[in-house]
Amino acid sequence: MKLKFKDIILKETEDYIFVNKPPGISTLADRSDPSHLLDEARKYLPDLQVCHRLDKETSGVLLFSKNKEAYRYAAIQFEDRRVKKKYHALVDGRVSWKGMEVEEAIKVSNKGVGLDSQGKEAITNFNTLEVFNHHSLVECLPITGRMHQIRLHLTHLGHPIVGDANYGGKPFFLSSIKRNYNLKKWTEEQPIMKRVALHAVKLGLVDVHGNFIDAEAPYPKDFAVSLKQLRKYV
């Protein structure tokens, strides 16, 4: 792994470190990839613990604690739904949402992850930020923190995340928005984003001293370029 942990730090306090996790890196050990972000974090500070997870393909704010008390304090807030979380997603189709709430339970089993009335409660609120010809930029505010929650809830609404092949999302090709797009001979067009178009923009919580702390993560290059192209050919 070429990544240096210190290069992705957004904010560091006495007890916590917020980082901007790049896409394509697992938060914890993964069966398909032995390298992971926690391993790199502990090269920076050996006692660091990760307070939550982001999917391998998801980029954005990830929180680490420097000591056991800070970890416990964060864990309680995640459990009590007091951590403020904001994501941005590029979705298929044009949507106009303001306070759109989805409350659909999610079940995780050896067969996979999916919506299931017998699963655990899962709630997400959605707001439209920008609308393009065939896509929309959506703000996602998860109240609970179930696995693949935002991805499943957007698919439930009929507007899966761009590039999310597991849940019906289509790849985003420049040819789909640019007229008279010419592809070089003998080449195959590649999607602008080669992953699920989901980014954890902001995360905030109360620290062990009672102060509210948060951090905001800028878009990674692939997300920023996708938005630039969508705005250019709107």
Q: What angle do CA 1, 60, 66 make, to 5 degrees?
A: 75
Amino acid at 61: V
Question: What is the percent of the chain with per-residue pLDDT over 90, rounded to a whole number?
Answer: 85
pLDDT of residue 32: 67
pLDDT of residue 36: 87
Q: Is there a catalytic annotation at residue 47?
A: no
Name the more confident of 152 and 34.
Answer: 152
Amino acid at 187: T
- For 131-182, the pLDDT digits (tens) are 999 999 999 999 999 999 999 999 999 999 999 999 999 999 888 888 777 7
| Token pair for 209 | 């001293």
- For 214-224, the pLDDT digits (tens) are 999 999 999 99
Q: Is the pLDDT of residue 9 over 70?
A: yes
Name the more confident of 36 and 198.
Answer: 198
- When pLDDT is cut at 50, 70 and 90, the band that residue 198 belongs to is very high
- For 173-196, the pLDDT digits (tens) are 888 888 777 777 777 888 999 999
Strands (E) located in the chain: 9-12, 16-21, 49-50, 59-65, 84-92, 100-103, 106-109, 112-115, 123-131, 135-142, 198-206, 212-216
- Contact call for residues 204 and 68 (beta carbons, < 8 A): no
State how far the Cα of 94 lies from the Cα of 220, in Å rounded to an integer.
23
What is the length of the chain? 234
Residue 131, classified by CB atoms within 10 Å of its CB into exposed (0-12), middle (13-18) or buried (19+), is middle
Distance spanning both ends of the chain, measured CA to CA: 37
Q: Are strands 84-92 and 198-206 parallel, antiparallel or unpaired?
A: antiparallel
* pTM recorded for the entire structure: 0.94
- For 85-117, the pLDDT digits (tens) are 999 999 999 999 999 999 999 999 988 999 999
Four-CA torsion 109, 115, 121, 122, nearest 10 degrees: 110
Q: Which residues contact 7 (CB under 8 A, 6 or more apart)?
A: none
| Catalytic one of 15, 55, 92, 222 | 55
State how far the Cα of 105 lies from the Cα of 215, in Å rounded to an integer.
29
Which residue, 62, 70, 89, 74, is CA-closest to 3? 62
- Provide CATH code, domain 5-232: 3.30.2350.10
